Structure 1
Amino acid sequence: MSSLAALSLTACGGGGGGGTTPASDGGGTPTGGGNIGTCSYASRADWARGVIQEWYLFPNGLNTAANPASYTNLQDYIDALVRPSVTPAAGGTGGPLEKAGLTYITSIKEENALINSGSNAGIGIRLSYDTATNRVFVAEAFENAPGFVAGMDRGTQLISIGGQSVAALMSSGGAAAVSAALGPSEPGVTRTITFRTADGRELTRDITKQDYALDPVSDRYGIRILSDGAGGQVGYVNLRTFIVADAANQLRAGFAQFKAAGITRIILDFRYNGGGLVSNADLLTDLLLAANVGQVSSQTVLRPSKASENQTTRITARSEAVAATRVAVIGREGTASASELVANNLIPYLGGGLALVGENTFGKPVGQFAFDRTACDDRLRAIAFKTVNAAGNGEYYGGLASVVPATCAAGDDFTHQLGDPEETSIAVALDFLAGRSCTAISQSSAGISGQGVTARARPIQPAQPNVVQRENPGLF
């Protein structure tokens, strides 16, 4: 039997996964045909069609004539089913339609491992490429992973992979060629990589991919107290992902520090955060809005036939919460879903005290339910709901820049570590919080980097991202 496993908001970059929570976050048991005793393609396709026809948020946007026999891959068939609803992710336009790749099939086992412990395999680095020069940089390195141990960190430039120069790979096949050269994200896969560190050292290392735990809040820079340059203090939170359950405990601990210091101005650095668990997004909203306990945080809205499943989430009292007066959300193209949900939740309460810093975000005000077919390790993530804030607003398909009261353009500055007040985006965020002026985000200004290495950086994403890569754009 298939079951409705979870309520979640999720990522961009060709897909979105999410977290699972108990069935009380959602409800119901979807119908679906097929011989549930088998895991044949035909049976799986029949099950997926039944779930999508019952729960998909845009029932009039389905291609019900799609024939599963015309496909051999289940994801290809799912894409065909929802194709009438899909609007290109790069366009930044559209109405209540899904973006490509956000309804998908994944592994129950792999996703649960990621949620419960952050378990995944790889080098443990996020990669971005400079669109002006096609250079590839490490945007972030996870401390307990092979890349960081080998000497890679933010600002590291990749020179060659397996004897192939990165410049040649980018010239011949672009970011996809770099992704392919790095190989699958499986333990034991080894690549010889030459790289130049931020301080100018050129190193060659044989790096073997290993299992490691994805830490949602870095011990180095995840929680910091910064000066605004005018004698005031600002709380800085760099949340890498909402998908790992332990993010909740780390956020509580961080906000306890802010509360003890009397801090009410906050930077939320979501620049690489592709989304994850709605429960963590709700918690973060609570931690910021201590003055609004009991008021509406967000509303979850399903298709008309499932209106009985609609929910209203209210702001809950948290002992660590602060009454934020000004908040700067640092976002970029890879910022999506649960990250955007938090920002949208804040708009009715902070008004002009809220700004988006960096560039425009992905634009995903919709989320997935997880439907499990355990016998086949199949989890179908289907777009099944949209979210709106206390004012009933949630139409940010074109990204947060279209709805947040204030915006400040800033680049992604690889010459400074995350959490550094001199890093371009953080410096601009501090300016906003201190009441200083900034340049609004626009098509022409969104990627300007100021001090940074890049004119416009973009995450490298595999053509077929795994579970962790869906939630963490650019992770290898």
Structure 2
Amino acid sequence: MHIGRSALSATLAFALAACGGGGSPPPTSGGPTPTPTPPTASCSLSEQQDFADAVLDEWYLFPSLLDNSVNRAAFNNLQDYLDARVAPARAQDRDRGFTYATSIAEENALINSGSSAGFGIRLAYDINNDRVFLLEAFENAPGFAAGMDRGTELLAIGTTSSNLTTISSLMASGGPQAVINALGPSDAGVTRVIRFAQAGGAVIEQSISKTDFSLDPISDRYGALVLDDGGKKVGYINLRTFIVSDASNQLRDAFGQFRAEGVTELIIDFRYNGGGLVSVADTFGDLMGRNRVGQVWSETVLRASKASENSTELFQNEANALQPTKIAFIGRRGTASASELVINSMIPYVAPANIALIGEDTFGKPVGQFGFDLDACDLRLRAVTFQTNNADGQGEYYSGLASVMPNTCSAADDIFTPFGDPGEASIATALDFLRGQSCTAISGGAGQTAQSVGGRELMRPARPTAAQFEIPGLF
């Protein structure tokens, strides 16, 4: 059994367990191997439950919020059993789907190379009108190649052109899960005929096959840009996920570009980022930590019985690091875990008047998971095991970051305008803040079990793949 530190990624689209895992041991491994080691002779549900009980009883961050009266015989799969055991923590918004079982092989492939199978699109549905839209498309995946991109609306899905079912019919018959079922399993080779309307209005019908593709954490189109704001250079970075380990190197390249152009003000776009590897979040912090090497970036706090495993992460030297004078973070309910860690950890290091959350309140996930592996079963248990605090000891933002940010500005998510465009609603509001203009504050709210983005809710299967856990809305 192996253990590794990582922050989920909620993406969840429901509380997505936002964490990203690690390898075996994960790249961000830390802490001793938990004991006792459960049996691994076979993969019966009973033995998986033994494994889960050993992990939760020794490592779960909220031991008093475990239900120890659960009847194991009442369950026919491990995830439902886990949900029952952590139900008291969920009732207090401490574990909204953050403890879950996944595949070691799938998660390692995702972390190491961004490997996933699907159309390579991120979907959300209109809560009020039962319409389904693309929030973004990954450039090296079949959806983008077929003409789908941000703002595309799905109109109908079928296995052939002769049995297309409209989205409105699917939503009426079974809600978003009916649409998810119509899209088929996340396996390479699965083919669907999809009728869709591009943002410009053109309607296209295409037969599209799911393929294996690599998730690019920073888009080559709009992921890292230097915006000219009336002669002032503003660095814009859109990080899609923390779960792919190469995100650290891509961040270094982006900040190298910013530094070369003399950027001191940043717009950091985390609006759908459900989190991922804590190691990537740490690198992100280091790249904003010029002249802060050795100061506290974040604190990792475990349950009282594991206090000896608590740790403090310090800013490390990065050649391309900046010391930003102003930062506008774009976030929404899909922003969770490692994304929130970065935002929260920067609060002590930017003048209160010069840092803001733009968009809407974030998801509210100040906790992270270790990965516990039962190798013989290809089972990785992601269990909530630690909370992260910033240098001021602040880590209580279970209802979202709006309540702890010095400034917030409400802004819409304009899915019909490309990322990186200064005219896009959230980016425009971020630029206004950096100019010193006033804005309407975000109304904070209690943490939610579903991740929503401005009237649209990120779609998530009942049983998500490792990639769908980490990248909310991915299909």
Shorter chain as denominator, the TM-score bin is: over 0.9
| Higher mean C-alpha deviation, range 34-43 or range 202-211 | 34-43
Residue matched to 1:267: 267
From 42, 57, 61, give the equivalent of 1:57: 61
Which residue number corresponds to residue 281 of structure 1?
281
Query: What aligned pairs does 1:197-208 form with structure 2 within 5 A after superposition?
Result: 197-208=198-209
* Cα distance, 1:473 vs structure 2: 1.0
Task: Answer yes or no: is 1:344 the counterpart of 2:344.
Answer: yes
SS in 2 for 1:267: strand
Q: Whole-Å Cα distance in 2 between the matches of residues 75 and 455 of structure 1?
A: 30
Match of 1:41 among 42, 45, 58: 45
How far has the Cα of 1:39 moved from its partner? 1.3
RMSD: 1.6
Matches within 5 A, 1:245-394: 245-350=245-350, 351-394=352-395
Distance in 1, Cα, partners of 2:201 & 2:189: 29
What is the DSSP-based 3-state SS (H/G/I as helix, E as strand, rest coil) of the residue aligned with 1:181?
Answer: helix
- What is the match of residue 159 of structure 1? 155
Which residue of the partner structure matches residue 467 of structure 2?
468
**Quick one: which amino acid aligns to residue 81 of structure 1?**
R
1:143 and 2:139 correspond: yes
Separation (CA, whole Å) in 2 of partners of 1:470 and 1:185 = 13
Write the deviation string for residues 293-344 of structure 1: whole angstroms up to 9, x where unpaired. Answer: 2110000000010001000000112110111011111111111000000000
Deviation at 1:144, TM superposition (A): 0.5
* Paired residue type of 1:188: G
Does residue 132 of structure 1 match 2:128?
Answer: yes
Alignment-derived partner of residue 107 in structure 1: 103
Question: Which one-letter code corresponds to 1:19 in the other structure?
Answer: G
**Structure 1 SS opposite 2:143:** helix
Alpha-carbon distance between aligned partners in 1 of 2:9 and 2:49, rounded to the nearest angstrom: 23
Amino acid at match of 2:372: F
Q: How does 1:13-28 map to 2 (within 5 A)?
A: 13-14=13-14, 15-16=16-17, 17-20=19-22, 22=25, 25-28=29-32
Q: TM-score, normalised by structure 1?
A: 0.93
Which deviations, in whole Å up to 9, do the C-alpha atoms of 1:86-134 show, x marking residues without a partner?
Answer: 13xxxxxx5xx52332111111000000000000000011112223322
After superposing the two structures, state which structure 1 stretch, 149-158 or 174-183, moved more.
174-183
Structure with the bigger RCO (C-alpha within 8 Å, sep 6+) is 2
Cα pair distance change 1:411/1:473, threshold 3 Å: same
Query: SS of 2:422's equivalent?
Result: coil
Residue 450 of structure 2 corresponds to none
Q: Deviations over 1:213-269 (max 9, x none)?
A: 0000000000000122x3211000000000001101110000001111111111111
SS in 1 for 2:109: helix
- The Cα of 1:443 is off from its aligned counterpart by 5.9
Tell me the distance in 1 between the aligned counterparts of 2:371 and 2:174: 35
SS at match of 1:382: strand
The CA deviation at 1:434 is 1.4
Residue in 2 that maps onto 1:451: none
Contact 2:94–2:398 (8 Å) recurs in 1: no
Question: Which residue of structure 1 aligns with residue 449 of structure 2?
Answer: none
Whole-Å separation in 2 of the counterparts to 1:262 and 1:100: 41
How much does 1:32 deviate? 4.1
TM-score by length of 2: 0.93
Q: Which amino acid aligns with 1:35?
A: P
Deviation (angstroms), 1:402 = 1.3
Q: In structure 1, give the amino acid aligned to 2:296.
A: V
2:89 partner amino acid: S
1:119 pairs with 92, 104, 115, which one? 115
2:402 is paired with a residue whose SS is: helix
Q: CA separation in 2, counterparts of 1:468 and 1:35?
A: 28
Contact 1:158/1:193 (<8 A) preserved: yes
1:149-202 CA deviation, whole Å, 9 max, x = no partner? Answer: 001011111111111111222233222221121111111111110011112111
Matches of 1:321 and 1:401, distance apart in 2: 27
Correspondence for 1:90? none
Query: Where has structure 1 moved over 6 Å in runs of 4 or more?
Result: none
**8 A Cα contact 1:182 1:191, kept in partner:** yes
* In structure 2, distance between residues paired with 1:368 and 1:67: 25
Distance, in Å, in 2 between the alignment partners of 1:114 and 1:235 is 28
CA distance in 1, matches of 2:7, 2:456: 28
Structure 2 Cα separation of the partners of residues 466 and 348 of structure 1: 36
Q: Is the 8 A contact 1:410 1:425 kept in 2?
A: yes
